[in-house]
């Protein structure tokens, strides 16, 4: 008879969390681990959350805290209150958090205060820019988590420099790539391209980072650069609710060669990206997805916590002033093949690796420290 293991709770707040969690949830299900999802409602729009549950095959959440948007302080405060109640109610053996959003930070703080063990999937990523709210969330989360799942080799060295016990750290690969690999047979650009009335050659834009949209001057400079790109190639922008009004006020509205639409579901959005000649973004996850799909990506940021997308992939960092020229070059160069092999452990098996470590930890089995080089066991998965 199989041993009954403690409950695992997954705290999910924003659409990238859902993409990262789905392979882990499936892996734990296959191992018979009882689990449940807590949806904080940080992304509250149906197009930003509900459709992702359907596209990724995630089970219905045990609770939806519906915290919505707000300042970092107000949103985090609401999350702390709501998560404390739900964690006490369900009494989990482990809480798993993902990425770097405010829901991640709130969950790790609540669990640290309550003495509930935690695991962080996507640990060790660093932009080294404390001006990014996400960077603060990453550092605090990794300092408090009991299990840390790193997606890339450089994350191991970042955690070591911060004094994290290597026995807690496991290099598992990138679960976001698991979801993309599973979805590949469904990613057909034609239906969504035709529905949006885009020509065969088009670009996709995603813009939402505070540094780009919160300041009116920065938003105006960004919109001017994207508009300039649209004079070279039609651009479709599925616009995140965050910053929508400010970007619209700066001129990001549907025009002759610029199409602004509501957010898309997971499969529709990646289908659109797969058929694009160029992607312009400030998103972390999109940098990874374009690397996997071989689509040229220009990231409107001064830094990235995902440098592997530059060294192994299709990504380049640009300023708004550099964007038009960089776009022209990328379009002239055409389709991109990632340099050499894909990043280590981008093999579609990260979720099962995470699940095996969690199941072993719940059983009390001894776990060996992560190697700081890729060992044969990691390569085999």
Question: What six digits make up the tokens of 354?
Answer: 């995470």
Write out pLDDT tens, residues 57-83: 999 999 999 887 778 889 899 999 999
Would the pLDDT of 1 be above 50?
no
Given a contact cutoff of 8 angstroms between Cβ atoms, the answer to whether 286 and 279 are in contact is: yes
The tens digit of pLDDT for each residue in 251-278 reads 999 998 999 999 999 999 999 999 999 9
How would you label 340-372 residue by residue, b for 16+ Cβ within 10 Å and e otherwise?
Answer: eebbbbbbbbbbbbbbbbbbebbeeeeeeebbe
- Residue ranges covered by each domain of the chain: 8-174+345-380, 185-333
Which pLDDT score is estimated for 58?
A: 93
CA distance 350 to 149: 10
Q: Would the pLDDT of 381 be above 50?
A: no
Q: Which range has the worst mean pLDDT, 16-30, 187-201, 360-374? A: 360-374
pLDDT at 269: 96
Distance CA 217, CA 125 (A): 29
pTM recorded for the entire structure: 0.92
Of 287, 208, 283, the closest CA to residue 246 belongs to 208
Q: Which residue has the tokens 């797969």?
A: 274
Residue 376 confidence (pLDDT) = 34
- What is the rounded CA–CA span in Å between residue 89 and residue 92? 9
Closest CA to 323 of 211, 209, 224, 198: 224
Are 272 and 264 within 8 A, CB to CB?
Answer: yes
Of the residues 208, 240, 312, 372, only one is catalytic, namely 208
Check if 10 is active-site: no
* pLDDT score at 243: 76
* Higher-pLDDT residue of 131, 52: 131
pLDDT of residue 378: 35
pLDDT: which is higher, 35 or 73: 35
pLDDT bracket for residue 7 (50, 70, 90): very high
Segment holding 139, helix H or strand E: helix 133-144
How are beta strands 169-171 and 297-299 bridged, if at all?
Answer: unpaired
pLDDT above 80: residue 232: yes
Q: Residue 211 has what pLDDT? A: 85
Angle at 338 between CA 335 and CA 341, to 5 degrees: 150
CA-based nearest residue to 134, from 282, 291, 314, 312: 282
Does the fold of domain 185-333 match that of domain 8-174+345-380? yes
pLDDT > 70 in the chain, percent:
92
3-class DSSP string for 318-350: CCCCCHHHHHHHHHHHCCCCCCCCCCCCCCCCH
Q: Give the pLDDT score at 43.
A: 54
| pLDDT band per the 50, 70, 90 thresholds, residue 244 | confident
pLDDT single digits (tens) 48-59:
467 778 899 999
User: By the 8 A CB rule, do 357 and 328 touch?
Assistant: no
Quote the mean pLDDT of the chain: 91
Measured at the CA of 322, the angle between CA 321 and CA 324, to 5 degrees, comes to 95
Residue 144 pLDDT exceeds 80: yes
Copy the structure tokens of residue 105: 């930070």
Residue 317: which of 237, 209, 184 has the closest Cα?
A: 209
Per CATH, which fold does 8-174+345-380 belong to? Answer: Rossmann fold (3.40.50)
Q: Mean pLDDT lowest for which of 1-5, 179-183, 228-232, 300-304?
A: 1-5
Give, as one character, the DSSP assignment of residue 56: H
Nearest to 108 by CA among 150, 139, 130, 133: 139
Distance CA 88, CA 97 (A): 16
* Digit-coded pLDDT (tens) for 288-343: 999 999 999 999 999 999 999 999 888 999 999 999 999 999 999 876 665 457 88
CA distance between the termini of the chain: 27
May I ask the CATH class of domain 185-333? alpha beta
Confidence tier at 94 by pLDDT (50, 70, 90):
very high
pLDDT at 2: 60
Judge contact between 255 and 224, C-beta under 8 A.
Answer: no
Percent of the chain's residues with pLDDT above 90: 77
The predicted structure's pLDDT at residue 284: 93
What pLDDT was estimated at residue 69? 72
Nearest to 158 by CA among 135, 184, 176, 183: 135
Range ranked top by mean pLDDT from 3-7, 186-190, 364-368 = 186-190
Max distance between CA atoms of the chain, in angstroms, equals 66
| Interval 96-115: pLDDT, tens | 999 999 999 999 999 999 99
């Amino acid at each position: 008879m199989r041993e009954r293991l403690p409950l695992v709770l997954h705290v999910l707040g924003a659409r990238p969390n859902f993409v990262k969690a789905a392979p882990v949830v499936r892996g734990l299900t296959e191992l018979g681990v009882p689990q449940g999802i807590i949806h904080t409602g940080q992304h509250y729009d149906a197009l930003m959350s509900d459709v992702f549950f359907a596209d990724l095959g995630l089970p219905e959440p045990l609770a939806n805290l519906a915290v919505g948007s707000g300042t970092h302080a107000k949103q985090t405060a609401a999350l702390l209150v709501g998560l404390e109640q739900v964690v006490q109610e369900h009494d989990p053996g482990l809480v798993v958090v993902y990425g770097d959003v405010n829901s991640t930070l709130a969950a790790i703080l609540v669990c640290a205060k309550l003495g509930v063990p935690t695991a962080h999937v996507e640990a060790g990523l660093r932009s080294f820019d404390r001006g990014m709210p996400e960077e603060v969330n990453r550092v605090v989360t990794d300092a408090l988590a009991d299990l840390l799942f790193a997606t890339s080799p450089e994350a191991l060295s970042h955690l070591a420099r911060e004094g994290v016990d290597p026995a807690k750290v496991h290099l598992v690969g990138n679960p976001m790539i698991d979801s993309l690999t599973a979805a590949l047979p469904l990613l057909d650009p034609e239906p969504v391209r035709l529905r949006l009335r885009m020509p065969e050659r088009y670009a996709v834009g995603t813009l939402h980072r505070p540094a780009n949209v919160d300041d009116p001057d920065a938003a105006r400079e960004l919109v001017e650069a994207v508009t300039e790109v649209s004079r070279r190639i039609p651009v479709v922008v599925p616009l995140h609710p965050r910053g929508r009004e400010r970007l619209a006020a700066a001129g990001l509205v549907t025009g002759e060669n610029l199409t602004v639409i509501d957010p898309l579901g997971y499969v529709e959005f990646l289908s659109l990206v797969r058929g694009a000649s160029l992607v312009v973004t400030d998103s972390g996850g999109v940098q990874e997805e374009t690397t996997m799909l071989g689509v040229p990506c220009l990231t409107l940021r001064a830094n990235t916590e995902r440098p592997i997308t530059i060294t192994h992939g299709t990504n380049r960092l640009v300023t708004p002033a550099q964007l038009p020229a960089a776009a022209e070059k990328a379009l002239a160069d055409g389709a991109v093949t990632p340099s050499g092999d894909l990043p280590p452990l981008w093999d579609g098996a990260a979720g099962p690796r995470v699940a095996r470590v969690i199941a072993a930890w719940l059983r009390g089995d001894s776990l060996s420290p992560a190697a700081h080089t890729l060992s044969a066991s990691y390569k085999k998965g």
